[in-house]
Structure formats: structure tokens, C-alpha cells
Structure 1
Amino acid sequence: MSKNRIHKINETIKKELSQQIRMNIKDPRLTDLLSIMKVDTTGDLRYAKVYISVYDSDEKKNQAIEILTKASGFLRKSVGKVLKTHYTPELIFLLDDSMEYGAHIDEILRDIKKKEGEGHGDE
């Protein structure tokens, strides 16, 4: 399957899931600070890894994965109505920690700059 078609399918799944989670998943434990960062569908359309980011505690992050995994049947059915493909991929929800990783790298770089600035003051 072409990369362009997979990309379109990934974007369609991402858009539909975002809408369904926001509008139809009424679990109060699910935070509003949840974003779908990326969808990665296999070439045979059997599986779609859905990477989510949750700006909250580790407990809330794991809870969000659990809630979405339990709702995956409903969400898959919604995706199937929008996708015009032979198969509707099974949804696998995973945490995306790239935001935290990026913030950590940014902090390290700031510390390095700060230490370099302190070193130049001694000369």
C-alpha cells in the first residue's frame, strides 16, 4: 500500500478518534489534557498504534490508556464508518512521551548554557 494512502488513513483515524473521544467518551476520569499525537497503521490495515499524550500524573496517564483500551471496540466501530477500507484496524493505545522528553532535553540545554555563562564570568 502506498505511503500516501497510509498517511491519509492515519490522519483520518486521528481526526475521527479525537472527535469521538471529545464528544462521546464521557468517563470523568479522562482528562481534557489528552491529545492524539500520532497514528501508525500497518500496511495491511490490521493494526493501528495510537500514540496519546496526557499532561497529568503517571497514574492519570495509565488510567487514560486503560479507559481508551476498554472503549476501543466503540472507537473502532466509529473509525470503520468513516474509513472506506476492507478492514478496520484494531486500535492499540500507547503513551507518547515525546513532549516530556523534549522538555527534559530543553532543560539540559538550558543548564549547559547557564554553566557556560558562569564559566565566562571567571576570566
Structure 2
Amino acid sequence: MRKNSSKNIRINSEVLRELSNIIRKDIKDPRINPMTSVVSVDVAPDLKTCKAYISVLGDEQSQKDTLAGLVSAEGYIRRQLARTVNLRNTPEIKFVIDQSIEYGVKMSKLIDDVTKADAESHKED
């Protein structure tokens, strides 16, 4: 199976949906921030490994705690995933913090600051 085949895309979306449900509903670890979302999932073509990109709304410490909680619950998450998604192999999950949403908010704020400063400079002229 190739990386961007229709089967791999379907598997990625199914794993993404089920992983989101498991993290949101099943895990009771207090370290995991309730505002945790799975941004994307990249399952390897051989179905052995999976990178799950997660986004956590909160400070850096909250992100570290959430990542530690998810890593410690990886066995449980994988077991639940095996029950809900019918795959030949249940992939080993590696959680990665996705900074893209935070980066986008930061860039948007910088752009707003620049346009505000530009508008004030034109107002003075």
C-alpha cells in the first residue's frame, strides 16, 4: 500500500476519528487537558506505526502533562483502537505535539499589531 493511496487515506481518517473519541470519552487521566484534540494522524503503509499530532489548548506545562498522560495511556488507547477499528495490525502510536494552531494564532496577532500600527501612523499624517 502506498503512502497516499485511497486505502491509506481512509485508514488515517478512521484512526483519527476513533482516537479522538477515545481521548475525549474514555481516558480519565487528570494530566490530560480536556481541551486536547487530534489534529491529524499518519499511519504507516505497513500499519505498524502511527504518528498522532495533537493540539492542546493551554500553556507549555499543560502540553507536557498531556503528552506524558497520553504516553502512559498508550497501551490502553491501542487496545481500545484495536476493538473499534478492524485492521490487520493495530499500529504503535507515537504522540507529537502540533504547534501549528498556536503558531497561526501568534502570526495573526503579529499581523494585527502591524496593521494597527500602520493605521495609527497614517492617521497622524
Report the TM-score, using the length of structure 1 for normalisation. 0.90
Aligned length, in residue pairs:
123
Query: Take 2:28 and 2:86, find their aligned partners in 1: how far apart are those partners?
Result: 27
Matched residue, 1:95: 97
4+ long deviations beyond 3 Å: none
Matched residue, 1:14: 16
Letter in 2 for 1:8: R
Query: Which range moved further: 30-39 or 80-89?
Result: 80-89
Matched residue, 1:24: 26
Q: Secondary structure at the match of 1:121?
A: helix
Query: Take 1:17 and 1:56, find their aligned partners in 2: how far apart are those partners?
Result: 20
Cα-to-partner distance string for 1:48-77 (whole Å, 9 max, x where unaligned)? 111111111211111111111111111112
Paired-residue identity, %: 33
Query: Take 2:57 and 2:39, find their aligned partners in 1: how far apart are those partners?
Result: 12
Measured after TM superposition, the shift of residue 41 of structure 1 is 1.2
Matched residue, 1:105: 107
Q: 2:42 aligns with which of 40, 44, 48?
A: 40
Q: 1:73 aligns with which of 48, 72, 75?
A: 75
Query: Take 2:29 and 2:84, find their aligned partners in 1: how far apart are those partners?
Result: 23
CA RMSD of aligned residues (A): 1.5
Matched residue, 1:4: 6
Query: Take 2:114 and 2:29, find their aligned partners in 1: how far apart are those partners?
Result: 43
Cα-to-partner distance string for 1:13-42 (whole Å, 9 max, x where unaligned)? 111112122222111222211111111111
1:83 matches 2:85:
yes
Letter in 2 for 1:65: L
Q: Gapped runs of 5+ residues in structure 1?
A: none
Report the TM-score, using the length of structure 2 for normalisation. 0.89
